[in-house]
Amino acid sequence: MIEIRIHGRGGQGGVTSAELLARAAIAQGKYAQAFPSFGPERRGAPVVAFVRVDDKPIRIRERVYSPNVVLVLDPTLLDIVNVADGLKDGGKVVVNSPDAAPALKSKHGWPTVAQVDAQTVALEELGVAITNTTMLGALLKATDILPLSAMREVIDDRFGPKLGPKNYKAFERAYNETVEN
């Protein structure tokens, strides 16, 4: 089983990211679950979402305490939240940051980091700094959880004919620009 914890802020699409990833996994014949955990529901407040993906039924129904992967949508959280808390041995932190992967790894002491400047990608491709689909591209680059093509239908379905192709382009671009260290 692969367990993922997503850190973001309200309005950035962390909960949507979790849902899209789970839907794509299910469409690929896997078992998946996605759910959020947040305090005050307001734009900008820290939000955590969780995803589990497995080849067999998932019986666990609690938050992810020891993730294989942590996905960070907002780099400002790095200074206020220990995003790697509980990260399993061999785990990865996939982060939206303009800072280079080696610098992030050194600064935070993470075992493995995958980095992409998702905010720039989102602004250039979507016209808004919402990094949810962009960071899913980085996640798929850093893991073998799903093939790149698995996300096309769920992104198009979720965002419709106007925004679906733009979101998929941002997703693909982030996939191609992600650097792992």
**Tens-binned pLDDT, residue by residue, of the chain (181 aa):** 999 999 999 888 899 999 999 999 999 999 999 999 866 556 678 889 999 999 999 999 899 999 999 999 999 999 999 999 999 999 999 999 999 999 999 999 999 999 999 999 999 999 999 999 999 999 999 998 999 999 999 999 999 999 999 999 999 999 999 999 9
Fold held by 2-180 = Pyruvate-ferredoxin Oxidoreductase; domain 3 (3.40.920)
pLDDT recorded at residue 37: 83
Answer yes or no: are the C-beta atoms of 177 and 121 closer than 8 Å. Answer: yes
133 vs 6: CA distance, rounded Å: 12
Which is it for strands 69-72 and 2-9: parallel, antiparallel or unpaired?
Answer: parallel
Tokens of 164: 């679906």
138 vs 118: CA distance, rounded Å: 8
CB count, 10 Å around CB of 117? 22
Is residue 41 classed as helix, strand or coil in its secondary structure?
Answer: coil
Tokens of 167: 């979101």
90 vs 69: CA distance, rounded Å: 9
Backbone angles phi, psi at 30, to 5 degrees: -95, 170
Answer yes or no: are the C-beta atoms of 82 and 110 closer than 8 Å. Answer: no
CB count, 10 Å around CB of 36? 18
pLDDT recorded at residue 178: 98
Degrees, nearest 5: CA angle 24-36-71:
65
Helix, strand, coil shares, percent, the chain, to 5: 45, 20, 35
181 vs 104: CA distance, rounded Å: 9
pLDDT recorded at residue 40: 58
